[in-house]
Structures are given as structure tokens and as C-alpha cells.
Amino acid sequence: MATIALDAPHHIRDLALADEGKRRTEWAERSMPVLRQIRERFAKDRPLAGRRLSCCLHVTTETANLMMTLRAAGAEVALCASNPLSTQDDVAAHLVRDHGVHVFAIKGEDNETYYTHIAQALAFGPDLTQDDGADLVGALHMIALGRLDDLAGPIRAMVEGMSADERTALVAKVEGSTEETTTGVIRLKAMAVEGILRFPIVAVNDSLTKHMFDNRYGTGQSTIDGIIRATNTLLAGSAFVVAGYGWCGRGLAMRARGAGAKVIVTEVDALAALEARMDGFDVMPMADAAAIGDVFCTVTGNIHVIRPEHFRLMKDGAIIANSGHFNVELDLDGLAGLASERREVREFVEEYLVNGRRILVLAEGRLINLSSAEGHPASVMDMSFANQALAAEYLVEQTGQLDKAVHRLPPAVDAEIARLKLAAMEVAIDTLTEEQVTYLASWDAGT
Ligand SMILES: NC(=O)c1ccc[n+]([C@@H]2O[C@H](COP(=O)([O-])OP(=O)(O)OC[C@H]3O[C@@H](n4cnc5c(N)ncnc54)[C@H](O)[C@@H]3O)[C@@H](O)[C@H]2O)c1
């Protein structure tokens, strides 16, 4: 790979793709009425004027709409990918050409380039960061703690080129950060418990208008979409194994059932397993499900959920995918150790031959919905990114007042986003009568 200058204004596949990116970004915009309203207000109020934002998010049409909202608010913005396979190159081109966003992302980039792009987003010198998986915040804290050996090579190289004062200034400049996903929030809460957070975080994932809708309905639909686009498999009549019955797993199980599959859930949490069972799904350990499943998908946020002892039991032609944040849920090194042969049989489908049986792994175990499909539909990202935009504004409003901890957006923000979304969907609801308000606030009425 040619050396990429850290201060290059952008690093993308091809600027000539911008027209297509613009067309598709406008298509997503139609389904993002809440974010659109926030953008209109931001264009007047300019709440992020003078701030530099570095964002590490999936570079999709929906993210493009968020970037346009941050720009309307007056921010200078750098954007790198939060996954090497999720970048839409045409969208990257559109953001660079038409919105002055410094994009560092190329679909299918190797690890070296991926981390070089993260280094470029850090070198941008952010006042605020937005993460999807805590890559930027994680790197900033490794720098703050002097744990340079724990940094990926290109980031370490950048930091080694800086003086001690410059490193301190880089971290000290950051006023706060927002985090999009469950896995990132878990990491940040672990940092808060260790007492090492250097600035406040807003956990966007903890907003109800985020995880109840994005994780459940967004992941549910787009994961099925990704599996079908990668394989064109028929789900009706298949045995579909969902590992993890959290917000994502609930949505995925629901949509797989809707497509006619017999759904099996695996869990480690008794409450989640009980809920899955009472929602009407079979629940069993992966060791039992392995021999039955036709399609497997992990959504746990955990490591090595499907391992060699499971792969050994699988049927010929079993399809294996992951929709959890990191590509660690499938033990692919373990699978490679079992396999006598390995080859790509179709885009996004790698076949491993294990004891004469073909095991089909999709998208190298990376987020399937963003690898072989387009990620969540814009309509659901409308609420997630409304939270992101308002979280950036909130961090600026609260400068110097928030603890160095992981915070939620105030519940009133959740309620307002839900209200705006319902209004956009032309759904009306009842309001409390005065009598009902009084009744709900009293303890002695109605007994
Ligand atoms: N694909 C996407 O676009 C997308 C969107 C949102 C979240 N995510 C990611 O998906 C993952 C899950 O998110 P969530 O919001 O559903 O989390 P969650 O915490 O609500 O649910 C995770 C569930 O997995 C279970 N689990 C943990 N280890 C397990 C194991 N070994 N076997 C079976 N079950 C196990 C947990 O008990 C829990 O019920 C996270 O990594 C998150 O970041 C992906």
C-alpha cells in the first residue's frame, strides 16, 4: 500500500462515483423526516459552529444524512469507517465532493488501511467524536495512558511522530463523544468502571428510540436481507438458528419466522431464554442446535459463540453468518484448522470443507447486513441518527458540566424523537384528560 499522508483531505475509492452517491443519499433522506427537521433547526441555530467532529461510523447513505446535519450545524467533519466492508464508495465520494466532509474510507480496505483511516480521523484534531464500536475513543485512551503497544500499527506510527505535549493536547481537546452500538457502550462502561475515562460519553444506544427500533427492527430486517442477498437461499422450511436473544436477536428471530423458517434460539441468559421460549421459539444449547440448523446467525456481542466443536456437527451446506458488531463471534481460525479445503464459491460466500461437508461462511464473519446488504433501512436510522445529532448538541450545551462517565440522553429527548417520528408517520395518539392526569398523580383516588 502506498503511504497515505495523515493530513490528506480525504482518501476514498473514486470521486467520479459522487453522482450515484448523491442520488442514493437523497433516496434515504426521503425516509428520514426527523433528522431533516433537526437539520433545518441546526442550520438556523448552528449549535456546532467552530467544532471539529471526527466520526467513525458505517459510511452509508443514512450516515451521509447525519454528516449533512452536522455540517448544517456548523461543524467541520472527518469520517472514517467503523468496519472495512461496510463503506459505500459512492456515498464517500458524494460527501467529499458536495458537502466538504473529509472522508477516509474505502470498501474492502485491508486492516492497515482501515487503521490508517482511523489515524487520519484522529489527526483531524476533534473536539467531539462519534463512534460505532468505540474505535476512536479506545485509541484516544490508549494514547492518554501511554499504552502505545496496544495501538494498531498505523495509529502507533502517527502517535510516535508526535511530541508528548502534542499527544496530551490531542486527548485534552476532546470535549466528549457519542457511541452508537451495544458493543461500544459495553466497552465504554468498562472504562468508566476502571475510572480511566478522560471525557464524558453519551451512549446513543441507551436511548429507547435507538435500541428498541434500530437493533430490533433494523437488524432483524437487514440481517435477513444480507443473508438472502449473499446466498439467495430459501428461508421457508429451513431451520434458522439465532444466537443471542437481545434486541437484535428478537428482531432477527421475528423476521426469520415471518419468512417461514423454524427458528431456534441459543442463549446464556435465563431471562432472555425464557422470553424466547414464551415468544414461541425453540431454545437449546448451540451444541444441540449445531446438528439441526440450516442457517446460523450470531448477534450476541460476544466472542467465539460458534466454535470448532459446533462446526464439526453441522450439516452439509450449513450457512453461517454474524450480525454482531465485531467479527469475533465465529471462531473462523478454529474452522480453518478443521477444514481440508477452503475457497470462495460466490461473492461473500466462503466454503470450508470439513469431513466432506461444506460449511458456508458469509462475509468473513463480519456484520452481514452491512457487508452484503445496505445496512438498516433509512426510516429506522432516522431515529438513531436523530439521537446522534442531538447528542452532539447536548455535549456542546453541557460543556464542562458532565462527569467523565457514560450518560444517556435525557428521557425528554427520547419522547420528542418518538413524537416527531409518529407525526411523520401520520399516526395520532390520545392525550391524557385532566382527570386522568390527576388520577395518575394521586394515591387515594379510585380505591
Ligand atoms: N448488525 C447491526 O447492524 C447491529 C445493530 C445494532 C447492534 N449490533 C450489535 O449486535 C450485538 C448484539 O446487540 P444487542 O443490542 O442485541 O445486545 P443485547 O445485549 O441486547 O443482547 C445480546 C444477547 O446475547 C446473549 N449472549 C451473550 N453471549 C452469548 C452466547 N455465548 N450464546 C448465546 N447468547 C449469548 C446475551 O445474553 C444477550 O441476551 C452487539 O455486538 C451490537 O453492537 C449490530
- Is there a single domain that holds both residue 221 and residue 127? no
Neighbours of 4 (CB within 10 A): 15
Where among 371, 401, 432 does a domain terminate? 371
Domain membership flag for residue 9:
no
CB of 243 within 6 A of ligand 1: the answer is yes
Residue 88 has pLDDT above 60, yes or no: yes
Domain membership flag for residue 441:
no
Residue with cell 461473500: 348
Neighbours of 200 (CB within 10 A): 23
Which CATH number does the domain housing residue 155 bear?
A: 3.40.50.1480
- 85 CA → ligand 1 middle, Å: 20
- 304 CA → ligand 1 middle, Å: 13
Tens-digit pLDDT profile for residues 25-40? 999 999 999 999 999 9
How high is the mean pLDDT of the chain? 96
Domain membership flag for residue 32:
yes
What is the pLDDT, as a whole number, of residue 447?
62
Domain membership flag for residue 429:
no
CB of 299 within 6 A of ligand 1: the answer is yes
- Is there a single domain that holds both residue 325 and residue 383? no
Where among 371, 386, 407 does a domain terminate? 371
Number of domains in the chain: 2
Tens-digit pLDDT profile for residues 282-338? 999 999 999 999 999 999 999 999 999 999 999 999 999 999 999 999 999 999 999
Q: Counting atoms of ligand 1 from 1, which one is nearest the CA of 250?
A: 16
- Is there a single domain that holds both residue 106 and residue 141? yes
Tens-digit pLDDT profile for residues 236-245? 999 999 999 9
The residue segments making up the domain with residue 146 are 15-210+376-424
What is the pLDDT, as a whole number, of residue 7?
86
Mean pLDDT of 74-87: 95
Q: Counting atoms of ligand 1 from 1, which one is nearest the CA of 323?
A: 1
Residue nearest to atom 37 of ligand 1 (CA): 269
CB of 300 within 6 A of ligand 1: the answer is yes
- Is there a single domain that holds both residue 32 and residue 180? yes
Mean pLDDT of 399-407: 96
- Is there a single domain that holds both residue 348 and residue 415? no
Q: What values do phi and psi take at 127, rounded to 5?
A: -90, -30
What is the pLDDT, as a whole number, of residue 107?
94
Q: Residue 421 and residue 256: Cα distance in Å, rounded?
A: 26
Where among 352, 371, 390 does a domain terminate? 371
What is the pLDDT, as a whole number, of residue 86?
87
CB of 268 within 6 A of ligand 1: the answer is yes
Mean pLDDT of 140-169: 95
Q: Counting atoms of ligand 1 from 1, which one is nearest the CA of 205?
A: 15
- Is there a single domain that holds both residue 51 and residue 180? yes
Residue 297 β-bridge partners: 242, 321
Residue nearest to atom 32 of ligand 1 (CA): 267
Q: Counting atoms of ligand 1 from 1, which one is nearest the CA of 243?
A: 33
Domain membership flag for residue 36:
yes
Q: Residue 279 and residue 387: Cα distance in Å, rounded?
A: 30
- 329 CA → ligand 1 middle, Å: 10
Domain membership flag for residue 133:
yes
What is the pLDDT, as a whole number, of residue 376?
95
Which CATH number does the domain housing residue 239 bear?
A: 3.40.50.720
CB of 301 within 6 A of ligand 1: the answer is yes
- Is there a single domain that holds both residue 131 and residue 155? yes
What is the pLDDT, as a whole number, of residue 4?
78
With beta carbons less than 8 A apart as the criterion, state whether 18 and 97 touch: yes
Residue 2 has pLDDT above 60, yes or no: no
- Is there a single domain that holds both residue 121 and residue 253? no
Residue 401 has pLDDT above 80, yes or no: yes
- Is there a single domain that holds both residue 257 and residue 178? no
Q: Residue 143 and residue 308: Cα distance in Å, rounded?
A: 36
- Is there a single domain that holds both residue 57 and residue 179? yes
What is the pLDDT, as a whole number, of residue 1?
47
- Is there a single domain that holds both residue 340 and residue 394? no
Residue 105 has pLDDT above 50, yes or no: yes
Pairing of strands 341-346, 349-354: antiparallel
What is the pLDDT, as a whole number, of residue 116?
97
- 405 CA → ligand 1 middle, Å: 23
Domain membership flag for residue 436:
no
Q: Counting atoms of ligand 1 from 1, which one is nearest the CA of 324?
A: 10
Tens-digit pLDDT profile for residues 181-195? 999 999 999 999 999
- Is there a single domain that holds both residue 27 and residue 126? yes
Residue 373 has pLDDT above 60, yes or no: yes
Amino acid at 110: D
What is the pLDDT, as a whole number, of residue 270?
98
Out of 207, 217, 248, 264, give the residue to mutate to test ligand 1, the one with the largest number of ligand atoms within 8 Å of its CB. 248
Domain membership flag for residue 324:
yes
